[in-house]
Structure 1
Amino acid sequence: MTTDDLIRAAGAVILRGSSEVALVHRPRYADWTFPKGKLHPGEHVVAAALREVREETGLTVVLGRPLPPVHYRSSGRLKRVDYWVGRVADDAGLIPDDEVDELRWVPVEEAEGLLSYTWDVALLRSLGDAPLDTVPLVLVRHGSAGSRDEWDGDDEARPLDERGAAQAAVLAAVLPAYRPGRLVSSPSARCVQTLEPYARVAGAAIEVDPLLSEEDQDPRWTPELVAALPPHAVVCSHGKVLPGLVQALAGQDVRLPKGGLAVLHRAGERVVAVEQHAT
């Protein structure tokens, strides 16, 4: 099977407090399930999760830790649905239509009896695998910025190229899922520019931290840098810097491509989940 044969979809298991979960009724299938839907062509899976939840429920959510993806056959093809824990940030109200005609908040202990599919029941049970209340730290590697060898000026001033600008635009559609409280960047232009599209949307300032620079980077600085990281932020830096941070924080070897991001979901001082995305 090629990736072209795979149907991609995304959604969320939305909680109210720790005792209620949102289920939607679809009249076409006469079922009860979690809000989800297929990705648009070229759409990032995280952005799709936000959009589909909003379209099916009227809810704007903030995503918590990722849940196990669900796989099943649909119209003879394999379908993968990526899910996250969701928390409500805004409620515009459901407008019933042919796709979803009812949203119901159900006690978690009763939801299993209402859900129509075994894979949804397994997803519900996975809520107990790790803490539900987490704080995200988003680590971003700057977008594509051409070749260092072909740039005549100071390397810190090297800007994003066309592909890098496109990656920054995708990032601006992804970051609302995590609503970072602060934006922190290496002084390098390519890092600052990677965060600028989201900063404009969010109306937020970008803080510059020299410790995030790749110039004269020394692994011995990692503890100092880790200690300086804000708890709920997006941090943009370099391929030489980020692996040490992820290793120090989560104990994992993560190598991000340019424009890629790692989301570390923390409960207190403990990282309980790490997700990785390209842009």
Structure 2
Amino acid sequence: MNTHENGAGHGGPDTGAPETTAPEIRMTSAFPPRDTAVGGYLEPIRAGGAVLWRDGPAGREVVLIRRPDRGDWTLPKGKLKNGEHPIIGAVREVEEETGLTPVMGRRLPPQRYLKDGWPKQVEWWAATPARPDGRIDYEPNEEVETVEWVPVAEARTRLTYDHDVQVLDNFRVGPARTFPVILLRHLSAGEKRSWNDSDLLRPLDENGRADALALPRVLGAYGSLRAVTSAAARCTESLLPLTVECDVPMSTERALTVGPEGGGYDVEEAREVIARVLDERRPTVVCTHGELVPHLLTEALTRLGAPVSQQRGLRKGSFWVLHVSEEGDLAGVERHGVRE
């Protein structure tokens, strides 16, 4: 029995009266009021999941799972491991609960609700299956007994929990198909003071190399990308494991390259690069320097007709993800570090 209210399709006895119009679907608040101790704070349980969707023979469908121990229908999600990146955790949980590998699309508002009296916060994404046919090959177990593609309207009535209905509604009000443009500030490099050669050749340090090896799992969640990067060694090295492990083509751009002593670059030329990336409408990661990130983000948001964030910079090893609709509108923005 569904515990949410106002689910579409839940009608009473047939009275002969005309059918009422389906309720308007709106974006819902991620955080209901006062769901923790009054005047205090409780660290939430953190989880991640995805609205996994496809266009099937009968229209748009999403994946629902049924858990036998609770007898409920829900969206695939699960708790993050200690220190686990939310993107990696969401991908892992969806794979474990559905047998399908998600390709992450636009970020959806997080949901926060009480779980046994303690707040739980779930990070959500829209996603498509990596397999084009979306065929489910899943062995039922004690945690998940059924994985099923369900038409969206039916899924809304079948979901057990209101917070899942809110997530589905948040998916429905925005564009389903988007492509990512990722702005990455290069990973940690050796100190300028201790480097005696050209600054363009200054390599990643030990932490930067470790993060470069971690980058493919994080950015790989967004599907097949291409890489456009500064020609500086610390930028190309940041993306090298991604290009090899995920078969990502990479090209260098002089306009994204900051020369010795933080000079030798033209902001307008760099803006033209990000404008071209947006016009080409291909999933792309752009790797550059801290000096240029705010300019590139400003240019991208302005061209997308979106407000400009007051916080545009990035620390080394962090990235912005701009989710852009097929029509060229901004569908979402998120910011992460390679390690979180």
Query: What 5-or-longer segments of structure 2 have no aligned partner?
Result: 1-39, 303-307
Stretch of structure 1 that moved more, 233-242 or 83-92: 83-92
Verify the 8 A CA contact 2:204 2:234 in the aligned structure 1: yes
Of the candidates 173, 178, 191, which is equivalent to residue 147 of structure 1? 191
**Superposition map of 1:92-241 within 5 A:** 93-215=137-259, 216-229=264-277, 230=280, 231-241=282-292
Q: Is 1:277 aligned to residue 318 of structure 2?
A: no
State the AA in 2 paired with 1:95.
E
Is the partner of 1:132 in helix, strand or coil?
coil
Verify the 8 A CA contact 2:51 2:127 in the aligned structure 1: yes
Richer in strand (by share): 1
Is the partner of 2:130 in helix, strand or coil?
strand
C-alpha displacement of 1:228 = 3.4
Verify the 8 A CA contact 1:35 1:57 in the aligned structure 2: yes
State the AA in 1 paired with 2:130.
A
Q: Following superposition, which runs of at least 4 residues in structure 1 exceed 4 angstroms of deviation? A: none
C-alpha displacement of 1:82 = 0.6
C-alpha displacement of 1:76 = 4.0
Cα deviation 1:92-133 (Å, max 9, x = unaligned): 611111111101211111112111111111111112332111
Q: Is 1:259 aligned to residue 307 of structure 2?
A: no
Q: TM-score, normalised by structure 2?
A: 0.77
C-alpha displacement of 1:2 = 7.2
State the AA in 1 paired with 2:291.
K
C-alpha displacement of 1:205 = 3.6
d(CA) in 1 for partners of 2:136, 2:199: 46
d(CA) in 1 for partners of 2:196, 2:102: 45
Give the structure with higher Rg (CA). 2
C-alpha displacement of 1:203 = 2.8
d(CA) in 2 for partners of 1:37, 1:276: 21
Q: TM-score, normalised by structure 1?
A: 0.93
d(CA) in 1 for partners of 2:214, 2:188: 13
d(CA) in 1 for partners of 2:196, 2:80: 41
Query: What 5-or-longer segments of structure 1 have no aligned partner?
Result: none
Is the partner of 1:19 in helix, strand or coil?
strand
State the AA in 1 paired with 2:314.
L
Cα deviation 1:126-185 (Å, max 9, x = unaligned): 123321111111111111113222322211111111221222223211112112331221
d(CA) in 1 for partners of 2:116, 2:192: 48
Verify the 8 A CA contact 1:10 1:81 in the aligned structure 2: yes
Richer in helix (by share): 1
d(CA) in 1 for partners of 2:82, 2:250: 31
Q: Is 1:54 aligned to residue 112 of structure 2?
A: no
d(CA) in 2 for partners of 1:113, 1:219: 51
d(CA) in 2 for partners of 1:165, 1:190: 10
Q: Is 1:41 aligned to residue 89 of structure 2?
A: no
C-alpha displacement of 1:86 = 0.9
d(CA) in 2 for partners of 1:208, 1:192: 8
Verify the 8 A CA contact 1:13 1:21 in the aligned structure 2: yes
State the AA in 1 paired with 2:81.
H
